[in-house]
Chains A and B, each alone.
Chain A
Amino acid sequence: MSAAKHSQAMHFHARAGENVRNPVLQRALQKAKPLFVGKRAKGIAALADDGLEFEMLRTACEGIRNRTLADLDVWLDIFEERAITSGAEVLWARDGEEVGRLVVDIARRYGVTKATKSKSMLSEEAHLNEVLAKAGVRPVETDLGEYIVQLAGETPSHIIAPAVHKTIEEIEALFAKEHGRPVETRTSADIPDMTREAREVLRQHFLSAEMGISGANFLIAETGTAALVTNEGNGRMVTTLPKVHVVVTGIEKIVPTLEDFATLMRLLPRSATGQTISNYVSLLTGTKQPGDQDGPEKTVFILVDNGRANLLGSPYQDMLRCIRCGACMNHCPVYFSLGGHAYGWVYPGPMGSVLTPLYTGIENALDLPHASTGCNQCGSVCPVRIPLPKLMHQLREEQVERHLRPWSERLALKAWAWVAGQPVLYRWLTRRAVRYLNWLADDAGRIRIFGLAPGWTAGRDLPVASGRTFHELYKARK
């Protein structure tokens, strides 16, 4: 599988350790988390002013996504037919490599030397920037966060805030180098100036690129339309100014009607950034019309599978409802301890812990389904009610069934299962174990260092229990 080649998810353990000890990253993450959580909470609470509530809306959104997936073959057929009728071309790609080949072909056909890009996570799945550069096409990321990440030679660490891991000092160093000026001392007060500087540089790219590449937040079957939701306006630029517009998006992104889209838009921006609506919502259909002074002469949709179709009808189908809002990672204690790069592939956080093993192979991302405290904050904020902790559990079960767990864990579980089947031995052992734990505790009733597995208590204390087993306590009560 091509995706597995690029995944670093097997190094999760090592990267997690490095990231926890990286003070610069930790500072950036600690600054961001309360902002994400607070903004969403405010946005969701404001629904009540209009007589709406979150649970009612998420039921509607979940229903739209489920109904589409239940007949996805039909909706794809309708979307393709209507997109073609409106003047677009529709291509299909089985995997990331095929996406790269198709985009390079289009670039060659239209003599493209530079492509401006609006944020597309699928183009990360396809390593499109790398492929374009090799083919002699300069890819320019234009979302400010993506631009920063591209200058740093990195990948996004968050699906809606790609540069959340970068501090202002790091960004200043990147801008000074790329924009050919000396490094200055920058504080938060300089952020408007820095944004202005990037605006001026990127404006020239917008005007000169021959091709614009975007993703799509949704594909609307009714009209054969790509829906693009942005705040910066870069999405509008790359779909208005270049002569060719290529939409690279997953086959699961379809919604049937404009009304369905309007319903989903009541939760997507609120879940992502707490906004009631994003600044720009663009619905793009076909190409430049007779008499139009702007717009692309050529519009191509590339509908990508890359593992998605296999989830239909599988125990993981719920994951295909995902609308990429980022709320799950914004509320995840694991994500905010490690940052997005620890996850090793395109999608971080809880949704990444489910998608990465499914799209790159369960055996290539063994740690990710375990990167969870089981707190279910992700599940409770998901606007399309994806049971993320349950899906991670299923993946863990599958690891066990396929004998993918380490031998030590398998042996320990076998031993446990045997002991649990011997009542006398079980009682004798557990009596000793709880007394040992009780003996470890300090005066405040907490275990500060757990001798058998000190890692567990490196960053926290373990509250101690009574020192008696459940059987003993139960007997005493009678």
Chain B
Amino acid sequence: MTAKRDILGRVRGGVGKGDFAGRRAAAEAVLNARLRGPQPTISDGLIERFRVKAESLASTVDAVSDRKDAPAAVAAYLSANGLPMRVVVAQEIESLDWSGCAIVSAARGAVDSDQVGVTACFCAVAETGTLMLLSGPDSPATVSLLPETHIALVDTSRIVATMEDAFALLRAEREAVPRAINFISGPSRTGDIEQTIVLGAHGPCRVHLILIGISS
């Protein structure tokens, strides 16, 4: 307790203001105002912008017209890339017909030996081509982290313009923030050896996105 008292004492001295209660109330008002900084003007459609940005970050992108077509798109990706037809899926998409596409699916958190993880996402951000995943009982964080290949289903109706819009959606739909919000922008990468970019540092080496709601 004394460390806290010492530090806060010094901070208060440095800040040099009285009326803690009044300033605290003002700070609460700032929290409720949710003011935004400068916002980008995104001229392309959100879906197109998301696709272009995601591809620029080394994700690959496919599209299907309906959610029920997603397993077939996953199967096509797996066989085209010589990957096993065995995946770990987040529980939130467990009810899709995986076995109908000859995919063996396990709905659980991922373990080290899982080669492919399939998730949905809470929403996606067009500005940067980014997925927003929330951790939860139906969406374990490990599925998008441990396997070398991460496949994500992205509902095109859930693509928003900015991170601020994503936070607004979160506040509207959830009572509290989850343990982990993970914004994911393409495969894991490092540049730590001679500043040379290599994909697949610790997280997935491949990120494949399947956009849902695009009629061919």
Contact = CB atoms under 8 A, between A and B. Distances in A.
Contacts of A225: 177
A294 B141 contact: yes
B155 interface: no
A35 interface: yes
Interface string B169-204: 000000011111111111111111111101011111
A231 B190 contact: yes
Given A206-B202, A279-B188, A78 B27 contact: yes
| B contact residues, range | 35 or more
Contact of A231 (B16, B20, B140, B201): B201
Contact of A282 (B7, B112, B180): B180
B194 A257 contact: no
Contact of B137 (A285, A293, A310): A293
A223 B177 contact: yes
B36 A263 contact: yes
A273 interface: yes
A279 B189 contact: yes
B179 A287 contact: yes
A73 B11 contact: yes
Contacts of B178: 285, 289
A286 interface: yes
Interface string A192-232: 10111001001100110000000000000111010000011
B109 interface: yes
Contacts of B14: 72, 309-314, 317
B177 A73 contact: no
B23 A71 contact: yes
Nearest to A311: B14
Contacts of A98: 3
B15 interface: yes
Contacts of A145: 190, 192
B187 A234 contact: no
A257 B142 contact: no
A236 B145 contact: yes
A306 B32 CA distance: 32
Nearest to B128: A277
A222 B34 CA distance: 10
B101 interface: no
B182 A236 contact: yes
Given A233-B203, A279-B184, 16 more contacts: A71-B15, A78-B24, A78-B31, A144-B193, A195-B193, A233-B188, A262-B162, A262-B167, A280-B185, A289-B137, A289-B178, A290-B137, A292-B179, A293-B140, A295-B141, A317-B14
23 contacts: A28-B194, A57-B37, A60-B37, A70-B15, A73-B20, A148-B192, A161-B195, A167-B194, A188-B194, A195-B200, A222-B31, A232-B188, A233-B145, A236-B141, A237-B145, A239-B180, A259-B164, A280-B182, A282-B183, A285-B180, A292-B135, A295-B179, A312-B10
- Nearest 6 CB-CB pairs, A to B? A312-B14, A233-B203, A263-B37, A291-B137, A50-B40, A232-B201
